[in-house]
Chain A
Amino acid sequence: DTAVSQTPKYLVTQMGNDKSIKCEQNLGHDTMYWYKQDSKKFLKIMFSYNNKELIINETVPNRFSPKSPDKAHLNLHINSLELGDSAVYFCASSRQGAGLNTEAFFGQGTRLTVV
């Protein structure tokens, strides 16, 4: 009964490849996010979707493309992977309709290593 689940947990791939990370939440939330945690543990927002609509798109390379087939899923596709993309990627969700005071729930993270 995991609330926010990401797959895969670990991903090792070569430069230039295209890969996807999947995220699903069973909390009934209407807003989902992707965060990137770098090697220094700094967390930065990448994207946010509300009811399948993109509402936040930070300065992320075009090689990163989120896709939300429905409110419960937010997948992250990465094209032409580069060494600098190596990081831990966290999916999260929250309930926007309740206002700004709702906490976000995070997945376990996907550790991406580009070699």
Chain B
Amino acid sequence: AQSVAQPEDQVNVAEGNPLTVKCTYSVSGNPYLFWYVQYPNRGLQFLLKYITGDNLVKGSYGFEAEFNKSQTSFHLKKPSALVSDSALYFCAVRDGTGRRALTFGSGTRLQVQP
């Protein structure tokens, strides 16, 4: 069965500093990996995805993620954090066996301090 782990419940970073939100996954077959962001009282917004090809994926709002097959990781990064980036971030995986639904991690709350 596929699974996603986000080991940090919360990440705190100062505005202007780089940020990393960690994600590791477990799937059978090729992984299809996604990052979503959830602002308070809002739905999930798609940020970026990894399907194949370049291990560094660029997405919305200046976010990027690095796929590492040997470490089964897909960490979300941003070179310079903004206070407005403060939100709940979810990593998700869809395995290659035909199951269509995404399996989500437990979420990481990002707090960017001014």
> A residues engaging B (CB < 8 A)?
4, 31, 33, 40-45, 48, 50, 55-56, 90, 92, 94, 96, 100-101, 103-109
Interface of A is mostly: strand
How many interface contacts (CB-CB < 8 Å) are there between A and B?
A: 57
> B residues engaging A (CB < 8 A)?
32, 34, 36, 38, 41-46, 49, 51, 88, 90, 94-96, 98-104, 106-107
In angstroms, Cα B100 to Cα A44, docked, is 13
Residues of B within 8 A of A55 (CB): 100
In angstroms, Cα B51 to Cα A76, docked, is 31
Question: Is A90 within 8 A of B107, CB to CB?
Answer: no
In angstroms, Cα B74 to Cα A29, docked, is 27
Question: Is A103 within 8 A of B46, CB to CB?
Answer: yes
Residues of A within 8 A of B43 (CB): 4, 90, 106-109
